[in-house]
Homo-oligomer: A and B are copies of this chain.
Amino acid sequence: MTEQNLTMLCDFYELTMGNGYFQAGMRDRVTYFDVFFRDVPDKGGFAICAGLGQLIDYIQNLHFNQEDIEYLRGRGLFSEEFLEYLSTFRFTGDIWAVPEGTPIFPREPVVTVRAPAIQAQLIETFTLLTMNHQSLIATKANRIVRAAQGRTVLEFGSRRAQGIDGAVSGARAAFIGGCKGTACTLSDQIYGVPAGGTMAHAWVQMFDSQYEAFKTYCEIYPTNATLLVDTYNTLKSGVPDAIRAFNEVLKPRGITRCGIRLDSGDLAYLTREARKMLDEAGWTECQISASNALDEYIIRDLLQQGAKVDLFGVGERMITASSQPVFGGVYKLVAVEDGRGRVLPKIKVSENVDKITDPHFKTLYRIYDKATGKAEADYITVHDEAVDAAQPLELFDPRATWKRKTYTNYTIRPLQVQVFRGGELVYTQPPLREIQAYCMEQVDTLWEEVKRFENPHGYYVDLSQKLWDIKQQLLRESRP
Task: Tell whether, in the assembled complex, residue B19 and residue A129 are in contact, meaning their CB atoms are under 8 Å apart.
Answer: no
A352 touches B221 (CB 8 A): no
A281 in the interface (beta carbon within 8 A): no
Tell me which residues across on chain B come within 8 A of A130, comparing CB atoms. 163
Select A132's contact among B160, B322, B332, beta carbons within 8 Å. B160
Residues of B within 8 A of A11 (CB): 156, 158-159, 183-185, 197
- List the B side residues contacting A236 at CB < 8 Å: 480
* A205-B158 in contact (CB<8A): no
> Chain A 154-190, CB within 8 Å of chain B: the 1/0 string?
0010111111111111100000000000011110110
Q: Are A68 and B6 in contact (CB under 8 A)?
A: no
Question: Which of B15, B20, B325, B348 contacts A205, CB < 8 Å?
Answer: B348
- The residues of B that contact A68 with a CB separation of less than 8 Å are 189
CA distance A233 to B479 in the complex (A): 8
Contact among B10, B77, B169, B350 with A221 in the assembled complex (CB-CB below 8 Å):
B77
A13 to chain B, nearest CB (A): 3
B326–A480 touching, CB < 8 Å: no
What is the CA–CA distance of A205 and B29 in the complex, to the nearest angstrom?
Answer: 13
Q: Does A327 contact B (CB under 8 A)?
A: yes
A132 contacts which chain B residues (CB < 8 A)? 159-160
User: Do B161 and A133 touch across chains, with their CB atoms under 8 A apart?
Assistant: yes
Q: Is the CB of A8 within 8 A of B186?
A: yes
Cross-chain contact A183 with B12 (CB below 8 angstroms): yes
Assembled-state Cα–Cα distance A188/B201 (Å) = 40
Given A125-B158, A480-B232, do A202 and B237 touch, yes or no (CB 8 Å)? no
Min CB distance A266 to B, Å, is 10
Does the CB pair B183–A158 fall under 8 Å?
no
Given known pairs A133-B166, A185-B8, A232-B480, the reply for A77 and B20 (CB within 8 Å) is no
Q: Which residues of B contact A321 (CB under 8 A)?
A: 325
Residue numbers in B under 8 Å from A203 (CB-CB): 17, 20
Whole-angstrom CA separation of A324 from B322 in the bound complex: 7
CA distance A445 to B348 in the complex (A): 48
Q: How far is the CB of A297 from chain B (nearest CB, A)?
A: 16
**Is A159 in contact with B199, judged by CB distance below 8 angstroms?**
no
Residues B166 and A237 in contact, CB atoms below 8 Å apart: no
Within 8 A of B (CB), among A309-350: 316-317, 320-322, 324-329, 331-333, 336, 346, 348-350
- Indicate whether A198 reaches chain B with its CB closer than 8 angstroms: yes
**Residue A195 at the B interface, CB < 8 A?**
yes
Q: Is the CB of A164 within 8 A of B200?
A: no
8 Å CB contact of A355 from B1, B195, B264, B348 = B264
Q: Are A199 and B13 in contact (CB under 8 A)?
A: yes
- Whole-angstrom distance from the CB of A358 to the nearest CB of chain B? 14
- A9 CB–B CB distance under 8 Å: yes
Please give, as numbers and ranges, the residues of chain B lying within 8 Å of A336 by CB-CB distance.
Answer: 206
Cα of A98 to Cα of B438 in the assembled complex, Å: 47
A31 at the interface (CB under 8 A from B): yes
Residues on the B chain within 8 Å of A129, using CB = 158-161, 163-164, 167
Closest chain B residue to A336, Cβ basis = B206
Q: Which of A4, A137, A324, A350 has the most CB of B within 10 A?
A: A350
Given contacts A124-B159, A336-B206, is CB(A198)–CB(B13) below 8 Å?
A: yes
A149 at the interface (CB under 8 A from B): no
Q: A231-B348, A478-B232 are in contact. Are A31 and B195 (CB under 8 A)?
A: no
* Cross-chain contact A197 with B479 (CB below 8 angstroms): no
A265 on interface, CB distance cutoff 8 Å: yes
Distance between A216 CB and nearest chain B CB, rounded to angstroms: 5
Q: Let me know if A162 and B201 touch, CB within 8 A.
A: no
Is A390 part of the binding interface, using a Cβ–Cβ cutoff of 8 Å?
A: no
Q: What are 28 A-B residue pairs whose CB atoms fall within 8 Å in the complex?
A: A4-B164, A6-B164, A11-B184, A12-B183, A12-B184, A12-B195, A12-B196, A13-B198, A13-B200, A17-B203, A23-B220, A71-B189, A124-B200, A125-B159, A128-B160, A129-B161, A129-B164, A133-B161, A160-B327, A162-B170, A163-B169, A164-B164, A210-B479, A232-B480, A233-B480, A236-B480, A264-B355, A320-B326
